[in-house]
Chains A and B, each alone.
Chain A
């Protein structure tokens, strides 16, 4: 399975500011995903990030609020822009299983608190 790291692991931010979360994978993968887990809620897909193309956003999520970069096959960033307390969540990146393509492996997550 892929080894995935995320930075930062946690952060406390002031409203109106932006935070960029990094996701690094130890092997090349085509598809990377960004999820959000709000308190007491399920994981929700924000967007799918493929290298060399624009990210594909799910309903309710827009590029201006959550810009994503995917400069190569092992790295991606998610920015949470103009933050409000409602953005307080755990943000997780995941990658496809290149072998079986039957599952996704998740990073440890970034725990964000917006004051």
Chain B
């Protein structure tokens, strides 16, 4: 049973517009959430994280929103750039980012010039 779900395998947006990637989870014990970006033939690169005590965290063009009641989080990228084209993974942990991470299957984002 998948505890972290990314229901959109792919997303295509125009350069300069907003990209919204979604993630749902089922395990109410998760208290820390992370987003990673992965280019082909490379390992995942950490983007941004959020603790369950917050509902929003922002870092430059990237903002993560957490809705605990809905067990849902989203990553917003504004403005989107062609270099953002990659696979984005949502991950969750019960004890912070230095413990076991449970990943979703990823969403492939394509930003068109």
Say yes or no: is B113 at the interface (Cβ < 8 Å to chain A).
Answer: no
Contact A42 B106 (CB under 8 A): yes
Say yes or no: is A92 at the interface (Cβ < 8 Å to chain B).
Answer: yes
Known: A42-B106, A44-B103. A106 touches B98 (CB 8 A): no
Task: Give the interface residue-count category, chain B.
Answer: 20 to 34
Known: A31-B98, A108-B41. A40 touches B46 (CB 8 A): no
Chain B interface, DSSP helix/strand/loop, else mixed:
loop
Compute how far the CA of A113 lies from the CA of B97 in the bound complex, rounded to whole angstroms: 30
Contact B101 A101 (CB under 8 A): no
Contact B104 A42 (CB under 8 A): yes
Say yes or no: is B4 at the interface (Cβ < 8 Å to chain A).
Answer: yes
> Which residues of A does B touch, CB under 8 Å?
1, 4, 31, 33, 40-45, 48, 58, 92, 94, 96-97, 100-109, 111
